[in-house]
Amino acid sequence: MGFERNHQVKIPSKQLNNRLFYSTQVQQPQIDLNKQNIEPWFMTGFTDAEGCFSIKIQPNAKLKTKWRVRPVFSITLHIKDAFLLEAIKHTLGVGNISKSSKTVIFAVDSIKEIPVILNHFDNYPLLTQKLSDYLIFKKCFEIIKDHLSEKGLLELISLKSSLNLGLPANLKLAFPNVIAKDRPQYKFKGISNPFWISCFVSGEGSFHIVVRKPENKSISGEVFARFSIHLHVRDIAVLESLTSYFKLTVQQSPDSVVTDKKVTILKNSASLQVKKLYDNLNIIIPFFDKYSILGMKSMDF
C-alpha cells in the first residue's frame, strides 16, 4: 500500500515517537553475525515485503552515451532494524549499508556484486508482483554488463518505463518517444516454504490488541487480538494463499466485497485479518513461535 500513512491502522513498530508498545524489560532482538546467517527463504520473503529493484539513470557528459546507468537492489528500514540489514549483508557477502538519523539502507549496486543477488532470486524466486520488477531488473543488468551502447540505452529506458513508478520527469523530457515495454507476465505459484511467510510478515504484517468501546456505556467493551496483512489488490492471490495455508476464515467488513476465500477487498487494497481467539491461539501464535519473525516487529508479536 506504499507509505504507512496509507494504512488504516498505524503499525506500532514503525512509530517514530517515544511511546512504548512493549515491555521495557524486553531487549532488542539480536542476531549473532558470526554464527547465524539469514535463511534463504527469509531473504526472499523480506524482499517481497520491503525490497526494491531499480535502475538509476543520471546524466554524465563524460560518458559516450552521456548517461550513467546503475542497477540497484536495496532494502530501506527504520534505524532500529539496522542489525537486520547487517545480518542480510553478512549472509550475502555483498553490498553496503548507509545510515541516517532515522533510516538505514542496504544497497547493492556494483556490477561485480549484482550476480550474487540474481543467483539468490533465481534459486529462491519472489512470490509477489515484485517478481515482474525483478525480471525487468535482471534484463536491464544483462544489457548494462555487455558494455552499454546508445541502442542499449534506449532499450534500458524502455524497460525502466515499466519498472516501479516508471520514468522520472527528466528522462521523459530527454526521451519523449520511448515506448514502455510490457511487464513480464506474473502468475502467483503458491507458498512452498514457511520461512517465506515469517519474513514476509516481518515486513508486511501487523499485530494489534484492539479495544472497542461500546456506544452504550452500560455495556462492557470488546477487547481482542488481531493479526493482519494489508497489500495492494494486485497481490490478492498472496492473501488468499495465506488464508488457505493457515486454514483461516476472515470476518467480512460491511462496506467491502469478500472473495470465496474470505479475503477482504477495498478500493485499491486487500487485507487478511485474523480476529478469532481460536485461530490466533492455535494457529497464528504457534506458527510464529516456530518460524520466528525477525526485526523489531518480533516485539509486537
pTM confidence score: 0.80
CA distance 3 to 82: 19
| Predicted local distance difference test score (pLDDT) of residue 20 | 36
pLDDT confidence of 267, banded at 50, 70, 90? Answer: confident
* For residues 233-261, average pLDDT: 70
Query: Are residues 239 and 200 in contact, defined by beta-carbon separation less than 8 angstroms?
Result: no
Q: Which pLDDT tens digit goes with each residue over 32-74?
A: 544 457 889 999 999 999 999 999 999 988 888 889 999 999 9
Reduce the secondary structure of the chain to three states and give it as a string. Answer: CCCHHHCCCCCHHHCCCCCCCCCCCCCCCCCCCCCCCCCHHHHHHHHHHHEEEEEEEEECCCCCCCEEEEEEEEEEEEHHHHHHHHHHHHHHCCCEEEECCCEEEEEECCCCCHHHHHHHHHHCCCCCCHHHHHHHHHHHHHHHHCCCCHHHHHHHHHHHCCCCCCCCHHHHHHCCCCCCCCCCCCCCCCCCCHHHHHHHHHHHEEEEEEEECCCCCCCCCEEEEEEEEEEEHHHHHHHHHHHHHHCCCCCCCCCCEECCCCCEECCCEEEEEECCHHHHHHHHHHHHHHCCCCCCHHHHC
| Predicted local distance difference test score (pLDDT) of residue 249 | 55
pLDDT confidence of 252, banded at 50, 70, 90? Answer: very low
| Predicted local distance difference test score (pLDDT) of residue 11 | 52
CA distance 286 to 288: 6
| Predicted local distance difference test score (pLDDT) of residue 36 | 59
| Predicted local distance difference test score (pLDDT) of residue 34 | 44
Q: Which pLDDT tens digit goes with each residue over 151-198?
A: 889 999 999 999 988 888 999 999 998 888 888 888 888 998 999 999
β-bridge mates for residue 176, sequence order: none
| Percent of the chain residues topping a pLDDT of 70 | 83
Domains of the chain: 31-174 (3.10.28.10), 194-300 (3.10.28.10)
